Amino acid sequence: MIKRNLLSDLNKHLESKEITLITGPRQAGKTTIMLELKKNLENEGKKTLFLNLDIEADRRFFNSQEDLIRKIKLELGESQGFVFIDEMQRKEDAGLFLKGIYDMNLPYKLIVSGSGSIELKEKIHESLSGRKRIFELSTITFEEFVNYRTDYKYENRLNNFLEIESEKTAHFLKEYLNFGGYPKVILAETIEEKQKIIAEIYQSYLEKDISYLLGIQKTEAFTNLVKALSHQVGNLINYSELSSTAQLSEKTVKNYLWYLEKTFVLERVTPFFKNPRKEITKSPMVYFEDLGLRNYSAGVFGRVEETSNLGSLFENLIFFLLKDKIYFSPANIHFWRTKDGAEVDFVIDTHKQLPIEVKYQSLKCPEMTRSFRNYIEKYKPEKAYIINLSLKEMETLNTTIVYFIPFYEFLGHQL
């Protein structure tokens, strides 16, 4: 089994009365991690109940709150217990349903999961305000992937392994950039198996999420849009061009983009700006939640080294590494670009700004682009990062400390 870093945070939250809400892409491993939590609790002698709304026999207990409570009391009695509810998005008005049970102040802790559901992400958020904590389970991260592929031998010293075993590091990186992090894809032994699994995941997404949510019978235009976006990773999005490519109106393109984001396919990144006359203010960029799905959409699954996309895919990987680092903070990730073409890949925006440049290169010596220097001279951040394949160095530009840091060392680095 592939160990998930989120498990420790989830274990800690089991002690809270709040509902534990696990969201994320389809087939990212939510059911698996819930079963792991259940097993751990049972090993401690705790009472548990697992219900799955994908199973017809379980679904009948959700006809009313009273039906569910009767079932819980039957299995757990009147004392403390832990109730796992998988695929909660199958229940209409899931937020109000859970709110009613939570407000009864029963001695049961609720751990709930849901995939790619607008209901779960939007309506449940409002209904359960102050009553839940959301944990987003992504597909397997690069760190989790390498730990699994090395049989957890270097789990507590992964940075050392990645630094010393440079050839293996390069191999693992290219494998991950090619196939992404869906658990079943990683566990498949042949490229043919991986190809079949990623195709099934994508088809399931179209059938279960998009056709249902948008009422689309013919998904060809939607698929064309996803394909067009897969070639735009790390580039400014031009709605007019996308509209023409996918043969959709601009309004529909924006609507579909919103759904793609809410169903964990991609994420939009907006520009950082303080001078609207000179800096880009509106056009976003997109990054895919999973590189394997991106590559499948682009028609290059398993063979991206044959293309010139490795740099943008590496940038995509770093984006989600940054997202993990700021997940429980109020910070936001932006990019910076001027109308003259100067750009910085990422700007972490809190009360301060932290610029980050990504280089899919083994830098031999510290070097900064003119754009990066311009940003530093303009905004005077305390520190900045240039994430690359191998160089570890430190430079000072005016009053800013610029850290050149290998991506593998950045895995465990605190911003």
Residue 92 binned pLDDT confidence (cut-offs 50, 70, 90)? confident
Which residues are CB-neighbours of 297 under 8 A, at least 6 positions away?
Answer: 202, 223, 226, 227, 229, 230, 288
What domain range is 108 assigned to? 6-136
pLDDT classification of 119: cutoffs 50, 70, 90: low
Q: Supply angle C-alpha 377, 380, 381, rounded to 5.
A: 130
The answer to whether residue 1 sits within a structural domain is no
Indicate if 274 and 391 belong to the same structural domain: yes
Q: Is residue 130 in some structural domain?
A: yes
Task: Tell me what the pLDDT averaged over the chain comes to.
Answer: 93
Same domain, 116 and 146: no
283 located within any domain: yes
CA distances in angstroms from 371 to 51, 79, 210, 298, listed in the order given: 54, 62, 40, 30
Chain centroid to Cα 230, Å, comes to 16
What's residue 128's pLDDT? 83
Q: What mean pLDDT is predicted for residues 366-372?
A: 96
Asked if 71 and 191 sit in the same domain, the reply is no
Range name among 77-81, 213-217, 229-233, 367-371 with the lowest pLDDT average: 213-217
CATH code of the domain containing 115: 3.40.50.300
**Choice among 7-16, 117-126, 185-194 with the minimum mean pLDDT:** 117-126
Among 121, 136, 151, the domain-final residue is 136
**Residue 207 pLDDT:** 77
115-129, 168-182, 237-251: least confident range: 115-129
What pLDDT shows up at residue 322? 96
Q: Write down the pLDDT at residue 307.
A: 65
Residue 287 lies in a domain: yes
pLDDT tops 70 at residue 216: no
352 burial level (CB within 10 Å; 0-12, 13-18, 19+): exposed
To the nearest whole percent, how much of the chain has pLDDT over 70?
96
Nearest CA-CA partner of 347 in 381, 398, 308, 390: 381
pTM for the full model? 0.93
Do 26 and 95 have their domain in common? yes
Give the mean pLDDT of 174-178: 96
Q: Pull the structure tokens for residue 241.
A: 């061009």
Least confident of 98-107, 116-125, 141-150, 190-199: 116-125
Q: Is the pLDDT of residue 233 over 90?
A: yes
**Tokens representing 286?**
């997109």
**What is the per-residue pLDDT across 155-170, written as a single tens digit (0 to 9) for each?**
999 999 999 999 999 9
**Alpha carbon separation from 190 to 111, 148, 293 (Å, rounded):** 35, 17, 17
For residues 14 and 55, membership in a common domain is answered with yes
